[in-house]
Structure 1
């Protein structure tokens, strides 16, 4: 059934409003990169070439804006991690790929990560966003682990709990590393992969000898 003119106009306005909101989110992300995690709403509005009152016509408050920026940043991070989770790799190589993809994401966008996770206001909003990202990654990882365990003739009942635990560990380690930078990304990926693989090796029943967790020489410039 064809739409009447009023409906067409309403839909067009809604589409344009969604486009403008998306443009403002991109501008806000650019302001975070430029000014850091403590960026002000005025600085985010200026990045979009508008004033705060105009910005607030599209967002309820700062929490709504922060949530929108966080969701967009989360989508970018998931785009990095998803290929590592879906690629057909040997188990240890897949663990390393997932860990490195996450660390690369926060290394490339450190201020966005801090804005979403550690901004001085709207902690509840940050928690919602981080929990959502963690849940998405853990869901994909649990499916992968479950399939690997079943293929090895093992009980896959713990795959979901294991996936959530691994995601939390890698996130926490990445958060620490981003602030301290006492080692290179490659070194941290190696440490975390070795730690995870010790458990994965036993659970998956792989015949490959697990690596010995050892001190990795600090990379130059780290």
Structure 2
């Protein structure tokens, strides 16, 4: 019953948007919102439950993509693409599990445990993508304790992917919006090679 309620809630959010209220979701499930409160406690509890399902599916897709890669760079690209693809496929559901605490369609604020919902979802997603790259960095450049890259780069990387991905999702389609493949390639290049190649060339003046 709980799994069925989560599945119906996910479909309702996909259709109605991330601001769908508990009443909206219950109506889509042809039940009363008291049933959802009984199983999930409150809207934040439902968001957590949906997040567990979404994360599990995202994790499997990302890990499957990484396993098929033949190099660390290809692995990173595959993981970035899988992340963006999952977010694009169900943008309303993605927003629902990452925007806990935002007002719902009735103008009601989320419960006070909302930050914990978002933190746990992002932490798990960060570790899912970061762990393989952390291993690669340590293998390629054994740390003597002075290099912060193995610990800091993965978190910075997922921060960039998430921020860029959410901006991309919210940007209306048009000639200036990159495709999923284009954004994946751009993010992979930034993360592996930096951004200096895209910066304007500077020439030192010949004057003293």
- Under TM normalisation by the shorter chain, which class is it? 0.7 to 0.9
After superposition, the C-alpha distances for 1:11-48 in whole angstroms (9 at most, x for unaligned) are xxxxxxxxx11111111101101101011111222233
User: Considering only aligned residues, what root-mean-square deviation do their CA atoms show, in Å?
Assistant: 2.4
Gaps of 5+ in 2: 103-109, 200-208
Match of 1:168 among 141, 159, 169: 159
Q: Which moved more, 1:48-57 or 1:165-174?
A: 48-57
Match of 1:126 among 118, 128, 135: 118
Query: What is the match of residue 76 of structure 2?
Result: 95
Query: What is the match of residue 105 of structure 2?
Result: none
CA distance in 1 between counterparts of 2:163 and 2:74 reads 21
Match of 2:131 among 134, 139, 146: 139
After superposition, the C-alpha distances for 1:122-181 in whole angstroms (9 at most, x for unaligned) are 54122332222223322343234434x1xxxx2256323221211111111101111115
Query: What is the match of residue 5 of structure 1?
Result: none
Residues 85 and 144 in structure 1, CA contact (< 8 A), matched pair in contact too? no
Gaps of 5+ in 1: 1-19, 200-210, 215-222
Match of 2:179 among 177, 180, 184: 184
Where in structure 1 do 4 or more consecutive aligned residues deviate above 6 Å? none
Cα separation, partners in 2 of 1:43 and 1:196, compared to 1, 3 Å:
same
CA distance in 1 between counterparts of 2:163 and 2:123 reads 13
Query: What is the match of residue 50 of structure 1?
Result: 31
**Higher relative contact order structure (alpha carbons within 8 Å, sequence separation ≥ 6):** 2
Aligned-pair distance for 1:212?
Answer: 4.8
1:22 aligns with 2:3: yes
Aligned-partner SS, 1:29 = helix
CA distance in 2 between counterparts of 1:64 and 1:38 reads 15
Q: Which moved more, 1:103-112 or 1:133-142?
A: 133-142
Alignment size in residue pairs = 181
Cα separation, partners in 2 of 1:49 and 1:145, compared to 1, 3 Å:
farther
Aligned-partner SS, 1:50 = coil
Query: What is the match of residue 206 of structure 2?
Result: none
Aligned-partner SS, 1:172 = helix
Aligned-pair distance for 1:102?
Answer: 0.9
